[in-house]
Each structure stands twice: as C-alpha cells, then as structure tokens.
C-alpha cells in the first residue's frame, strides 16, 4: 500500500484554501489525515473532504504536530508568524503568500519550470508559491527560453477581481447590479453618468469603481513608479528562471472579470523564434494549451480558462518593431493554476521525489 500523508490547509475557509481542498480531491492526493486551519472566527465551521465533514480548527503554533505537508493560504503576516512553527514541527510548508518568495533560502517553484528547485526546502522547510500573474507567464516562457534565451520581457496584465478576494468579487457584483437597476429604472439611461456612481457608492475593495472600468493599480505604488505587484513579476521571474539578467517591465491592471488573469507578453530573444516554432514548442510544453486561430476567432479567453489548470497561449505573432521578438496572449485561472493547483503540484513533487 502506498504511503498516506498528513496534510494541513491553513486558511482553509478562504477562496484559495477551499480550492486547494478541491484540487487535493480532484488529483487524488494520498491524504491519510486532513486538517483545516483558519482564524478564530472560522473555528468550529465544517468543511467537506471526500464526502466527510471536517471541523475547522484555529490556526496556532501547535497546529502542525504530525503533519507532513502544510499548504498555507492564510496571508503574508500569518505565514510569517506560523510557517516557521509548522516547519519546526516537521512539516514542509508550501506557502501561497508573498512573505517568503524572495528569501534566498526559500525556493520559489513552478513545477513545469523549475521542479529541481524544490530540493531547497531543506534549508528552512518552506517552499514559496509564486504570484499568480508570474506563474502563468513563466509557464509559457519556459519552453521558449530554453530554445532561444530571453533578453527582455514587457508584460501588461489584465487581472480578475478574485485576485483581491471575496470582498472584491462581491463589490463587482454589487456595482454591476446597482448599475443595471438604475438603467432599468431609467434614472441614468442616456446620460453621461450612466456607467458611474458620481460619488454615491462606498468603494471597499478598490479606490475607484471596478465595474465597466480598468484600474492600472494593483497593490501599493513604490518609489520607482511601479506597483508592488509589478515588481513581484520582475523579481520573481528572474528567480524562477534562474537568470538575473532578464530585463522585465510590467504594467498590472485590474479589470472587471471575476476569474482568470490575462496577459499581453512581448519578448525579445537572443535568436529568432518564428511563430511556427513557438507554437511547436508550446504545443508540447507541460501545462500549456495553444489556442491560436485568429481567423476563426479562436484565442485564449478568461471565461475558457476559468476552472481549468492549463495555461492558454494564443495570438502568437512576430513583433514587427524589433528583431528576434514575439508577442502573445496568455490566460490562466488565477485561483487554480495561479495559486491552489500550483501549490498542490509542488506537494506532489515533494512526495514523489523527496518525502
């Protein structure tokens, strides 16, 4: 009989935590014991795993005795507070927050890109899950990098509100419904204010209306004019690809989509990569699905990516502004491949190769 593992999910009641639980079930991860951990306000709730009810426990420093793998989706500060305790208890932590990503003693892993890096967990007992927008981009870049090495990346992201959490999903729903109610009532129909709230709505998740809008503002602005989200893509890409010389510039935009991030990626290579070669390389790359027939209106869509684990790539074309350049469009479910599924894939690597 194959070995069973004790698994804890910290932040189990959140959107990513619940998706981690679902992915563990879907992929038939060899779970012997499951523990669901969350904040005090969720203590005592019941969640279901493989048809049986499991009571949620309060996340604490002594929550991890006997645990083999701890999947964390409890936020950066809680990870800083509790991940070391989990590691000291003997668990290997796979953390979804940004807390440990740039720690030189913590591997930052996308299994399709740098699976060998998992071995670095031995230093601190922690493995970092990259940012959702970084994950889908490097999955698409890896086969192209191996063929022609990348010199420079310019990426613009179009990120779903689920990346901010349940409050943002609810805010987009409320804004869209409020707009529809007003339009149906004729109050604003045909006016310049039809799509805006003119200050009458209390924004909670974002500083501006997100319905029917695009916000070039994800996370806080830094002194260099980039946001923290944009700099995550810069620094994480270099670490995952193990190439500090790659030049990366990112613009991260929040858009009124519930699930799945989309990205326009421009890449400059050291040698020419034709669109045909790129499609060939991507077509056999793990975790990638090429969706690329613009003549038939076939290209990656956020709605198509929702609920699946592949990274969809299309609109592959030569960059007409520079030699050795390509442009393409990348879409993936930010809650699944961008968070929960990637974490479970890391756990699968651990039990297959190391534990």
Can you point out the beta strands (E) in the chain? 5-10, 31-38, 46-49, 52-55, 57-58, 69-72, 92-95, 126-128, 150-159, 247-254, 261-269, 288-290, 311-318, 325-332
Q: What DSSP state is assigned to residue 254?
A: E
Say if CB 19 and CB 336 are below 8 A apart.
yes
- For the chain, where are the alpha helices, taking DSSP H only? 15-26, 76-88, 132-148, 166-185, 228-241, 275-283, 302-305, 341-353
For the chain, the C-alpha Rg in angstroms (whole number) is: 21
Exposed e or buried b for every residue in 235-254, given b needs 16+ CB within 10 A?
bbbbbbbeeeebebebbbeb
CB atoms within 10 A of CB 52: 9
Torsion of CA 7, 10, 16, 19, to 10 degrees: 30
Contacts of 71 (CB under 8 A, 6+ apart): 7, 8, 9, 10, 17, 20, 94, 96, 343, 344, 347
Residues taking part in catalysis: 132, 261
List the one residue out of 128, 130, 8 whose CA is nearest residue 71: 8
Strand 325-332 relative to strand 261-269, pairing = antiparallel
Report the side by side order of strands in the sheet with 92-95.
57-58, 31-38, 5-10, 69-72, 92-95, 126-128
List the one residue out of 343, 246, 273, 262 whose CA is nearest residue 305: 262
List the one residue out of 144, 150, 153, 212 whose CA is nearest residue 178: 212
The H or E element containing residue 259 is: none
């Amino acid at each position: 009989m194959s070995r069973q593992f004790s698994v804890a999910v910290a932040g189990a009641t959140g959107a990513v935590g619940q998706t981690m639980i679902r992915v563990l079930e879907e992929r038939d991860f060899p779970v012997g014991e499951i523990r669901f951990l969350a904040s005090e306000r969720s203590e005592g709730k019941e969640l279901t795993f493989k048809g049986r009810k499991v009571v949620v426990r309060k996340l604490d420093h002594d929550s991890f005795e006997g645990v083999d793998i701890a999947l964390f989706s409890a936020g950066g500060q809680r990870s800083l507070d509790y991940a070391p305790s989990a590691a000291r208890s003997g668990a290997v932590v796979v953390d979804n927050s940004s807390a440990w990503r740039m720690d030189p003693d913590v591997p930052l892993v996308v299994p399709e890109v740098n699976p060998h890096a998992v071995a670095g967990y031995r230093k601190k007992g922690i493995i970092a899950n990259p940012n959702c927008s970084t994950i889908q981009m490097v999955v698409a870049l890896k086969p192209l990098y191996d063929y022609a090495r990348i010199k420079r990346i310019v990426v613009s992201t179009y990120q779903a509100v689920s990346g901010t959490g349940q409050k943002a999903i609810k805010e987009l729903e409320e804004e869209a419904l409020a707009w529809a109610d007003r339009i149906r009532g004729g109050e604003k129909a045909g006016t310049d204010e039809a799509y805006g709230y003119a200050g009458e709505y209390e924004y909670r998740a974002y500083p501006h209306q997100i319905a029917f809008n695009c916000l070039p503002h994800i996370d806080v602005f830094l002194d260099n004019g980039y946001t923290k989200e944009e700099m995550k893509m810069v620094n994480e890409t270099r670490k995952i690809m193990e190439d500090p010389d790659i030049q990366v510039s990112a613009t991260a935009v929040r858009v009124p989509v519930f699930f799945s991030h989309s990205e326009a990626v421009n890449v400059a290579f050291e040698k020419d990569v034709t669109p045909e070669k790129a499609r060939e390389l991507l077509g056999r790359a793990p975790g990638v699905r090429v969706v690329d027939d613009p003549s038939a209106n076939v290209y990656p869509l956020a709605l198509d990516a929702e609920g699946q684990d592949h990274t969809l790539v299309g609109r592959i074309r030569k960059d007409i502004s520079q030699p050795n350049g390509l442009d393409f469009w990348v879409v993936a479910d930010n809650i699944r491949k961008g968070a929960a599924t990637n974490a479970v894939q890391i756990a699968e690597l651990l039990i297959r190769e190391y534990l």
